[in-house]
Amino acid sequence: MKGKLIDLVLVLGGLLMIAPLVWLVVTALSEPIDAFQLPPRWIPRPPTLENFQQVPDLIPFARMAWNSLQIAVITTAGALLTSALAAYAFNRLRFPGRDHIFSVLLAALVVPVQLTVVPIFIMMRWLNLVDTTVAIWLPALVNVFGIFFLRQYIASIPRELDEAAIMDGAGHFWILFRVILPLARPGLTALGIFVFEASWNNFFWPYIFLSSPEKMTLPVGLVALQGAMGGGPAVVLFAAITLVVLPILVLFLIFQRSFIASIASTGLRA
Amino acid sequence: MTAVAERARVQQATAKQRRDWLPGYLFISPAVLLFLVFVALPLVAAFGLSLFHWDLLSTPEFAGLDNFRRLVTDGDTIRAVVNTFVFAISSVVTHIGLGMVLALGVHRTMTRGTKYFVRTAYFFPFLISWAAVALIWKYVLDPAFGLANYYLSSTTNWLASPTWALPTLIVVDWWHTIGYTFIILLAGLQTVPAQLHEAARVDGANAWWRFWSVTLPVMSPTIFFATVITFIGAFQIFDPMVIMTQGGPDGATRSIVMYTYEKGFQSFEVGYAAALSLVLFVVIMVVTGLQFRLSRRWVHQ
């Protein structure tokens, strides 16, 4: 009885959590006249895609989606690569200064991006890279947390495996890519999901560096759309937000386990 | 073993070790080079910039400690620091408190379907970009046609009220990130050995006592970690302020990062912006340092 009551409270709370999202989707599917009526209509009648068709008239949505995707893919692939190389060296290879260099990298985890953004902006301006996607992904190619995380992961892989490969005359590249990384796949996946998600959703950095609509990522584009609309139809904005949120929901429902494992194992908050 | 053989063995060993040097440096070089350019250099540059007056166009002018003197006398800075602490501390209390309640609730035996729904519903908002979250909530909170006022039978203009704007953003932030805290705490809860609970039950401990004497101590590292991460994350808050309130009304929701942004990228007082960002840096460093020290003393290992 008591258990049932707790379940009921949790489910009601859950419904309250998703209510704004349901309202978002229902409004996006409503005729402009029906939208934003009070009491709110929780079922659109009849659902229409009209608002979605108007999104490209107001912002270059496809272009922005492409920018977001491009930046997220380059950032994820690049950060995984630089982190895996460094993590392998820090765990498996011996060279002078190794532990000192690693400590310095680790200490830099406390440096917030909001501190480095001002000097990096000046640097990018000097390089003529402000308002380009390069300014977004280039600084994100080094991920100190990723190095730390993968180093821990690689440390848990038995050394006998690479020692056997060394006996066979294998080089370190071969060992890393053929022996270590295949075994580190769960760690790479967790880190990859985390880096991709953080890049895809990032607002702070692109908001500062990107100003032309055709260079913007989706989060910045949405905010620009809202600012530029003035008295324009809010339903179109709702349609655009839905287009951003829905794919993540679908991906999440498919890969829920990996997503949650990624958060629980990396312990990181975007 | 003879001395000669011993020396040969040592030489061989060092030669074998030296073979690692080149690949070692080679493998760390991409990360280290990027680190030097995009972390180390900007960090040093931020300290340097904070000693200058500069508008990005004219020649920088050496200012000594002017910018730091201005920090402690500028009412807007003090307001932003206070706002940020209020936001971060409220965020920690509500995230850890309610996150713990949620985790305990979900950890009980539940039907699969219920568990799936509850976990998904509380976790999913965490995956949405702040940009989308802030825009959705701006409309939910709209005084004329928003859901919030309709269901609360209120006429408050939440985001325009000097009293309510900051608490409202704390609620929106809770909605957005509770899923993270919840998952971390749930993972921690799952590490509490069932035998300990069983033993306490046999000793006649009631549910509350078992929570205090078994669950909390075993979970203390997780709770501690979640507290620090939540605080640091909340202390860097920027997105909802810039999208929903522009720091207003009248600075009531201006955070340190929001103010740094205004100074650095809107009024182009780059030196002052650098000094402001150093405040953020120092607070984060102190909190991380405290984490290291206190976790050794308080936290059950």
How would DSSP label each residue in A211-222? Answer: -SGGG--HHHHH
Residues 179-238 of chain A with CB under 8 A from chain B are 197, 200-204, 207-208, 218-220, 222-223, 226, 234, 237-238
SS3 A17: helix
Q: What is the pLDDT along chain B (301 residues), one digit of tens a residue?
A: 466 666 666 566 666 667 788 889 999 999 999 999 999 999 999 999 999 989 888 888 888 888 899 988 888 999 999 999 999 999 999 999 999 999 988 887 778 888 889 988 999 899 899 999 999 999 999 888 888 888 888 888 888 999 999 999 999 999 999 998 998 899 888 888 888 878 888 887 788 888 888 888 888 888 888 888 899 899 999 999 999 998 879 899 999 999 999 999 999 999 999 999 999 999 999 988 888 787 776 655 4
Of B147, B143, B165, B157, nearest to B240 (Cα)?
B165
Distance, CA of B244 to CA of B172 (rounded, Å): 11
CB spacing of A112 vs B284 below 8 angstroms: yes
Q: Check if A167 contacts B (Cβ < 8 Å).
A: no
Q: How confident is the prediction for chain A on average, in pLDDT?
A: 88
By CA distance, what is B129's nearest residue in A? A201
List residues bridging with B62 in a β-sheet.
B52
Residue B239 has its nearest CB partner, among A142, A203, A248, at: A203
Q: Check if A169 contacts B (Cβ < 8 Å).
A: no
pLDDT at B5: 66
CB spacing of B242 vs A245 below 8 angstroms: no
Q: Domain limits of chain B? A: 3-49, 68-298
Three-class HEC string of chain B: CCHHHHHHHHHHHHHHHHCCHHHHHHHHHHHHHHHHHHHHHHHHHHHHHCCEECCCCCCCEECCCHHHHHHHHCHHHHHHHHHHHHHHHHHHHHHHHHHHHHHHHHHCCCCHHHHHHHHHHHHHHHHCCHHHHHHHHHHHCCCCCCHHHHHHCCCCCHHHCCCCHHHHHHHHHHHHHHHHHHHHHHHHHCCCCHHHHHHHHHCCCCHHHHHHHHHHHHHHHHHHHHHHHHHHHHHCCCHHHHHHHCCCCCCCCCCHHHHHHHHHHHCCCHHHHHHHHHHHHHHHHHHHHHHHHHHHHHCCC
Give me the total of CB pairs closer than 8 Å, taking one residue from chain A and one from chain B. 248
Distance, CA of B168 to CA of B146 (rounded, Å): 14
Distance, CA of A121 to CA of A129 (rounded, Å): 9
Write out the two tokens for B297. Answer: 């003393």
Q: Which domains does chain A have, with CATH numbers?
A: 59-230 (1.10.3720.10)
What class, spelled out in words, does domain B68-298 have in CATH? mainly alpha
**Cα-atom radius of gyration of chain B, to the nearest Å?**
26
Of A223, A115, A64, nearest to B241 (Cα)?
A223
pTM, to two decimals: 0.88
By CA distance, what is A252's nearest residue in B? B124
SS3 A171: coil
Residues 12-41 of chain A with CB under 8 A from chain B are 13-15, 17-21, 23-24, 36-40
CB spacing of A11 vs B140 below 8 angstroms: no
Q: Check if A85 contacts B (Cβ < 8 Å).
A: yes
Q: In degrees rounded to 5, what are phi and psi of residue A193?
A: -60, -45
Q: Check if A48 contacts B (Cβ < 8 Å).
A: no
- Please calculate the CA angle B103-B104-B110 and round it to the nearest 5 degrees: 95
CB spacing of A218 vs B23 below 8 angstroms: no
Write out the two tokens for B171. Answer: 């609620």
For the stretch A7-38, pLDDT in tens is: 889 999 999 999 999 999 988 888 877 777 77
Q: Which residue in B59, B92, B124 has the most chain A C-beta atoms within 10 A of its own C-beta, making it the best mutation to test that interface?
A: B124
Write out the two tokens for A174. Answer: 């071969």
A259 CB-side CA count, 13 A: 22
Q: In degrees rounded to 5, what are phi and psi of residue A169?
A: 85, 20
Smallest Cα distance from B277 to chain A, Å: 5
For the purposes of burial, counting CB atoms within 10 Å of the CB of B195, is it exposed (0-12), middle (13-18) or buried (19 or more)?
A: exposed
CB spacing of B281 vs A110 below 8 angstroms: yes
Residue B236 has its nearest CB partner, among A39, A112, A147, at: A112
Distance, CA of A261 to CA of A76 (rounded, Å): 18
CB spacing of A89 vs B145 below 8 angstroms: no
For chain A, the residue count is: 270
pLDDT at B108: 79
List residues bridging with B53 in a β-sheet.
B61
Per-residue burial over A122-138, b if 16 or more Cβ lie within 10 Å, else e, is bbbeeeebbebbebbbb
Distance, CA of A209 to CA of A229 (rounded, Å): 22
pLDDT at A231: 47
Distance, CA of B252 to CA of B249 (rounded, Å): 5
Of B85, B134, B90, nearest to B240 (Cα)?
B134
Measured CA to CA in angstroms, residue A164 lies from A175, A203, B49 at distances of: 10, 47, 52
Per-residue burial over A5-16, b if 16 or more Cβ lie within 10 Å, else e, is eebeebeebbee
Q: What is the pLDDT along chain A (270 residues), one digit of tens a residue?
A: 677 888 889 999 999 999 999 999 988 888 877 777 778 778 777 788 888 888 888 888 899 999 999 999 999 999 999 999 999 999 999 899 999 999 999 888 889 999 999 999 999 999 999 999 999 999 999 999 999 999 988 998 888 888 888 888 888 888 999 889 999 888 898 889 889 989 999 999 999 999 998 999 999 999 988 876 654 578 888 999 999 888 888 888 887 777 777 777 766 554
CA A74 to chain centroid, in Å, comes to 12
